[in-house]
Amino acid sequence: MARIRWARWGLGGAAVAAFAMTLGLMFAPRPVPVDSAPVSTGPIAESVADQGYARVREAYVVAAPASGRLERVPLKVGDRVSAGETVVARIRPATADPLDPRARAQAEAAVASARAAVGAAVAQRDQLAAEARRAEADLQRTRTLAASGYASRQALDSAEADARATAAAVQAATAQLAVARSELAVARAALMGPQAQGRETVTVTSPASGYVTRVMQESERTVAQGAPLLEVGDQTGLEAAIEFLTQDAVRVREGMTAEIYDWGGPGTIPALVRRVEPQGFTKISALGVEEQRVLVLLQFTGEPAKWTKLGPGYRVWGRVFLRREAKAVKTPLGALVRADGGWAVFRIADGRARLTPVEIGAMTDREAEVRKGLKAGEQVVVFPSDKVRDGARVKIETGAAR
């Protein structure tokens, strides 16, 4: 009986142990499947990038040298022009507007009034000229008498003063006659109709060699002196004006290496930072947020044949390299997580995820430079889920390691 009782206790204990083990296996935490990537070494560059547009560095705006009637401009955007040879515009003298009956009657009356004023001025001049001749004759007689002692010195001085006053009056009358004749010419000009002829046609040539980039006045019309007609630029002098945020622009210096990418053509276009404009401007983003931006001008380098299909006004992306590192410790950008206000990664050690703080340097759109916290060859979790915790068991999925 004792043996049977002990056998029953043994079987019961074994059953309880098996049940407890089963429950432990059922409720024990399972390894979290993760994707991993190795920490590697290689070149990396710290850069800033943003959108902008291509433009001609040296553009020349051709303006009308005189007022008149502009003939239709034959040039189109993209046409080649040579400095001092290619005729870009012709300006004829403007014709006078036809007069209605009322305006003509007023103009004719103005001509008659001006003609009468000329006649009055002529008569006034002749009268004063006669008085001047009389005063000159009196002066000669007084001088003769004064030389003989029959005229006083006072009489001689009075005769000389009269002669000078009448001569000055003649000069004033002559000037007044010129004014009256000018007013008559103005009044007669108002009567000229469209048939009146003016100066010869003015021919305008290109001030520089290059291509026509813009045509401001294409159709025939009347233009004023100084009116812009077209713009000439040279595509070999293309540059990119990139609109950087001010917090990125303060890190950019003239002479830094840059490149143009996503411009529509193959590869990238090498460039150099030519200028960082000192004045910023406000721009509204697509989300309606006000942003302070600065234009950074990137001068294209290399062979111009690489960007022949790129023209002024084309949208481009520009990247300025702030710092380059030839042998940097790198981790995938997707491995970075925020921890205690800084960066960290989940490093895989002995089948568990270990939250490891790291010091980050340069960052690109795919990877980041690790200055402290990791070594080359270590495995890190890429894009960790919310199930990954410090010390959690992880399982690298088959084929996920890279």
Tens-digit pLDDT profile for residues 126-164: 888 888 888 888 888 888 888 887 778 788 778 888 888
Q: How far, in Å, CA of 27 to CA of 18, rounded?
A: 14
Would you say residue 32 has pLDDT above 50?
yes
DSSP-derived secondary structure letter, 393: B
Between the two ends of the chain, the Cα-to-Cα distance in Å is: 66
Alpha carbon distance 401, 35 (integer Å): 6
Over the stretch 282-325, which tens digit does the pLDDT of each residue have? Answer: 998 888 899 999 999 999 988 888 887 888 889 999 999 998 88
The Cα-based distances of 281 to 99, 241, 244, 248, 293 in angstroms read 52, 13, 10, 14, 5
Instruction: Report the C-alpha gap between 315 and 54 in whole angstroms.
Output: 7
Arithmetic mean of pLDDT, 340-351? 89
Per 3-state DSSP, the chain is made up of helix, strand and coil in percentages (nearest 5) of: 30, 35, 30
Residue 208 pLDDT greater than 50, yes or no = yes
Is the pTM here over 0.85, yes or no?
no
In this prediction, residue 255 carries a pLDDT of 92
CATH class, range 45-54+235-396? mainly beta
**What is the dotted CATH code of the domain comprising 59-95+198-233?**
2.40.50.100
Structural domain boundaries in the chain: 45-54+235-396, 59-95+198-233, 101-189
